[in-house]
Amino acid sequence: MEDLVIGVDLGATNIKVGLVTADGRILSRRRLGTEVREGPGAVAGRICRACRELVSMTESAPGRVLGAGVGCPGSVDSASGVLRFWPNVPDWRNVPLRRMIEDELGMRCVMDNDANVAALAEQWVGTGKGASSLVVLTLGTGIGAGIVLNGRVWRGGNGAAGEVGHMSINPRGPLCSCGNRGCLQVYAGATAMVRRMREAIEAGARTSLADRKDELTAELIHKAALAGDEASRRNIEQTGRYLGVGVSNLMHILNPQVIAFSGGLTAAGEMLMAPLRDEVKCRTLEACRRDTRVSFAALLDDAGVIGAARCFMIG
């Protein structure tokens, strides 16, 4: 009889639930809307219904479901299973989500931050397979990270580790949403790319996006770059160089075996990665970078489900 674990990836828009094997394969899955406006109780109920559907599938097949792991955005107290704060859903504070799920499902559940579980997944069966130390940076509106050291998630003294987007790379730089100046995400997040593009347009840059200043997104900039727009390409390359500064700092502090990138901005591929690697090479001590592999994450949308299950497996 094969041991199975349910992995739950809770997002602001969608919930992904999967039945995960002991070697990291997803046997079956469900995807449903989160509907956060209905409140924590309704969302927990939706998660549990999807879990029960997956459990019922094992009744006619060899398999035993041991429990569930849940990856959540925001500040998570993994010891108590409480979602302290969800930045995109400010009404959700101090939600005892793990207990709510355990009470309804009648099985053990563990919970952690979504970046942490994604890092666990990549270290287990993804781009960091076989590595004992790894950092996964999530590139979106902001920049977050999951850190695995010696095969275990590093959460820091009070669970707040991984806020690499708020690493200051210029103390006199633009104001960040956190109140500090010159944070990495102010230069290398999706919002930063849009800001730079608008500034370039206002300065008279020749670009196919000149008439779309008010509807700019990182995706539009990427598409324009692929179509040969030089201003958009320079923007993406500049983003890569700023990320290289942050990666260099991480190499000097942690010296991990793997640094990987996930999230929407990775669609830019080598346009982003080539200048990033160049910046790392010229900024980082050779001893700190020579054995660190820098790459894109491998598991994409499956990382949250697989990592949540892995979080349960390792306790």
Q: At the top level of CATH, which class does the domain 3-122+301-313 belong to?
A: alpha beta
Q: What percent of the chain has pLDDT over 70?
A: 98
Q: With cut-offs at 50, 70 and 90, classify the pLDDT of residue 42.
A: very high
What is the pairing mode between strands 64-72 and 109-113? parallel
- Domain 130-297 fold: Nucleotidyltransferase; domain 5 (3.30.420)
Domain with CATH 3.30.420.40 in the chain: 3-122+301-313, 130-297
pLDDT 10s digits, 147-185: 999 999 999 988 889 999 999 999 999 999 889 999 999
**For the whole prediction, is pTM greater than 0.85?**
yes
- The number of angstroms, rounded, from the C-alpha of 275 to the middle of its chain's C-alpha atoms is 22
pLDDT digits (tens, 9 = 90+) for 225-275: 999 999 999 999 999 999 999 999 999 999 999 999 998 889 999 999 999
Range 97-114 average pLDDT: 96
Q: Classify burial at 171, counting beta carbons within 10 Å of its beta carbon; exposed 0-12, middle 13-18, buried 19 or more.
A: exposed
Q: What is the pLDDT of residue 61?
A: 57
From residue 210, give the alpha-carbon distance in Å to each of 198, 216, 221.
8, 10, 11
pLDDT for residue 232: 97
